[in-house]
Amino acid sequence: MKRIRTVVLRYVLIHIKSPARLLDLFFWPVMELFVWGFFSMYLAKMDVGLGARLTITLVNALVFWDILYRSQQSLSLAFMEELWTRNVVNLLISPLRHLEWVLGAYIYGLIKTGIIVGLLLGLATLFYAFHVSALGFYLIPMSVNLLLFGYGVGLFTTGLLLRWGHAAEALIWAIPFLIQPFSAIFYPLSVYPGWLKPLVLILPSTHVMESMRRLIDTGVYDWRSFFIAFGLNIVFTVLFTVFCVRMLERGRTNGQLVRMAG
């Protein structure tokens, strides 16, 4: 437990002592909130019938997207920090177990995501008369599925880093935005052509976003969507964990990890 706490503290101190990292942490999600928030207000003025429901839906979609994106980033960027600071060899020779590092990165990601989401909800309340009570308790199960999916994708992108090193850095940001258009985040499942819907429904994020819109429209939460998303998350997590572990063992065997640290 002490080693996990040390990992969390290391990444927290890295951000606290770096104004540039802190700015990057808050700048993009806040700017996205302003862009989509004011855009939704503009659409609402064009069609008065849309009203506050459009703003609530888009702001919730943005917050949920940020939960997925930041949880994925927390794991991948945690490993990138070790590459940037050439600390990989130190991790390999330390008594720190792989699971302890992953759990530490998970906890750090949870803290970071919680801070960002709290900031976004506060700004949304201030500027757009948004109230988190629109989702109530159901914010928790939906957030859990998004966190799990984000961590799963983070394991996958970390595996890519283990395989190709610095050459795969761009994929840390590219992979989530490859998923975004097919997750029904800012628009419903009905907009996709029929041949594409089976692929879209493979993603846990799609089921979360659809249940969020249904909750806002009808006031009823679809627990079936929760369990489908949770089951898909288990499958993806197992697959991505196996991939990440194999890339780690491969890197140990062929010296890739040592070369990345050089």
Q: Residue-wise pLDDT tens for the chain (262 aa)? A: 777 888 788 777 777 777 777 777 777 788 877 877 777 777 667 665 555 566 677 778 888 888 898 888 888 888 787 777 777 667 667 777 777 777 887 888 788 888 888 888 788 777 776 666 667 788 889 999 999 999 999 989 988 988 887 778 888 888 999 999 999 988 889 999 999 999 999 999 999 999 998 888 888 899 999 999 999 999 999 999 889 888 888 877 777 766 765 5
In one letter, which amino acid is 211?
S
Backbone angles phi, psi at 222, to 5 degrees: -90, 95
CA distance 220 to 138: 10
Our count of domains for the chain comes to 1
CA angle 162, 167, 173 (to 5 degrees): 85
> 10 Å Cβ neighbour count for 182?
16
Q: Classify residue 107 by its DSSP letter.
A: H
Identify the domain containing residue 29 by its residue range.
2-261
State the number of CA atoms in the 13 A half-sphere of 167 facing the CB: 6
Separation in Å, CA 216 to CA 67, 119, 220, 253: 19, 22, 8, 52
Which residues have C-beta within 8 Å of that of residue 192, sequence separation ≥ 6? 182, 184, 200
In one letter, which amino acid is 219?
G
Distance of CA 189 to the CA centre of its chain: 20
